């Protein structure tokens, strides 16, 4: 059976790398945490891995907008060999591998053009900007999964509870053409739900006011996933603030709902290769 390898990058203010690596280890994969400078200097190659992970955090202090500096580094940084890192990412995806970005990682993916990447040329088509509330939101949300999306990360999931921890999570779409394509191609893979299970823009169920009630996006090939909520923060049933009520309702599994996303992708890679 194929041993799945996950590369979790860190550095420059990323601070959720340990939780993300733990998620892969619990899912049965090998996970290495590597500083981005080691990747840029080509001492570590992303091509030795099956999944590339951009965790959450506060890269460069969010001083110029969340992940703006980090995304520019990804897009314009020349590696030791002289090639640009964005070209290495394109090759990684052409080799049918996978990328996930959570929170600050999602912000970096949209700002460097990997999501939604409808045009296929890494132009920025959407952004993630200041929450409508005007403040940092630290709360649990319920998200609905678009079952027509092509992402193996979300296979078999319909609804999932996860925490959000962000000040700039509002998705804003560049124009009507991009908006139509996101809808038609089912790229809006996660939406914020109200207590009745309906997609909502109502605060606090939608913590930021995202267009399309969007909590997560995929690319047209289904190989890149970005989401604002933190699946790596719900690895155990006991992470959930209402775990006692869930237990009283007969939910006995001790596995957190977020872990299912990592198990999904590990199992998918294992069976395809």
Q: Can you tell me the distance from the alpha carbon of 273 to that of 189, in angstroms, rounded to the nearest whole number? A: 25
Q: Can you tell me the distance from the alpha carbon of 177 to that of 157, in angstroms, rounded to the nearest whole number? A: 29
Cβ 203 vs Cβ 133: under 8 Å: yes
Please tell me the predicted confidence (pLDDT) of residue 64: 80
Q: Can you tell me the distance from the alpha carbon of 33 to that of 260, in angstroms, rounded to the nearest whole number? A: 21
Structure tokens at 21: 């690596």
Please tell me the predicted confidence (pLDDT) of residue 56: 96
Please tell me the predicted confidence (pLDDT) of residue 273: 60
103 is catalytic: yes
pTM over 0.75: yes
**What are the phi and psi torsion angles at 152 (to 5°)?**
-65, -20
Q: Can you tell me the distance from the alpha carbon of 168 to that of 234, in angstroms, rounded to the nearest whole number? A: 21
Please tell me the predicted confidence (pLDDT) of residue 224: 98
143 is catalytic: no
Q: Can you tell me the distance from the alpha carbon of 140 to that of 62, in angstroms, rounded to the nearest whole number? A: 22
Of 177, 207, 166, which is closest to residue 65 (Cα–Cα)?
166
* Terminal CA-CA length for the chain: 9
Mean pLDDT, contiguous 10-residue spans, the chain (273 residues): 94 97 98 98 98 96 87 93 96 97 98 97 97 97 95 96 97 98 98 97 98 98 97 96 88 90 97 77
Give SS3 for 93. Answer: helix
We report the CATH number of the domain holding residue 191 as 3.40.50.880
Active-site option among 230, 234, 240, 257: 230
**What are the phi and psi torsion angles at 31 (to 5°)?**
-135, 130
What is the residue whose two structure tokens read 């038609």? Answer: 184
Of 54, 43, 48, 47, which is closest to residue 21 (Cα–Cα)?
54
Cβ 125 vs Cβ 178: under 8 Å: yes
Active-site option among 19, 137, 232, 257: 232
Active-site option among 17, 19, 103, 189: 103
Q: Number of folded domains in the chain?
A: 1
**Which residue range is the domain that position 218 belongs to?**
5-272
Question: Helix %, strand %, coil % for the chain, to 5?
Answer: 35, 25, 40
Eight-state DSSP code of residue 3: P
């Amino acid at each position: 059976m194929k041993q799945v390898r996950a590369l979790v990058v860190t550095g420059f203010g990323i601070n959720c790398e340990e939780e993300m690596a733990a998620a892969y280890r619990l899912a049965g994969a090998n996970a290495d945490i590597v500083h981005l400078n080691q990747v840029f200097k080509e001492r570590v190659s992303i091509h030795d891995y099956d999944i590339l992970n951009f965790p959450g955090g506060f890269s460069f202090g969010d001083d110029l907008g969340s992940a703006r500096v980090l995304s520019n580094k990804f897009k314009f940084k020349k590696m030791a060999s002289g090639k640009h890192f964005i070209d290495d990412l394109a090759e990684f995806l052409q080799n049918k591998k996978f990328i996930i970005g959570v929170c600050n990682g999602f912000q970096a993916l949209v700002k460097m053009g990997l999501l939604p990447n409808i045009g296929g040329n890494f132009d920025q088509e959407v952004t993630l900007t200041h929450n409508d509330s005007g403040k940092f939101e630290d709360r649990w949300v319920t998200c609905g999964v678009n079952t027509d999306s092509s992402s193996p990360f979300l296979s078999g999931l319909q609804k999932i509870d996860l925490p959000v921890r962000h000040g700039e999570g509002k998705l804003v779409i560049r124009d009507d053409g991009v908006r139509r394509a996101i809808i038609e191609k089912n790229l809006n893979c996660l939406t914020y739900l109200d207590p009745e299970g309906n997609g909502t823009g109502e605060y606090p169920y939608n913590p930021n006011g995202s267009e399309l009630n969007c909590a997560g996006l995929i690319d047209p090939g289904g190989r890149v996933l970005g989401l604002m909520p933190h699946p790596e923060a719900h690895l155990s049933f006991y992470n959930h603030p209402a775990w006692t009520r869930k237990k009283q309702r007969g939910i006995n599994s001790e596995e957190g709902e977020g872990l299912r996303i990592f198990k999904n992708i590990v199992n998918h890679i294992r069976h395809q290769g």
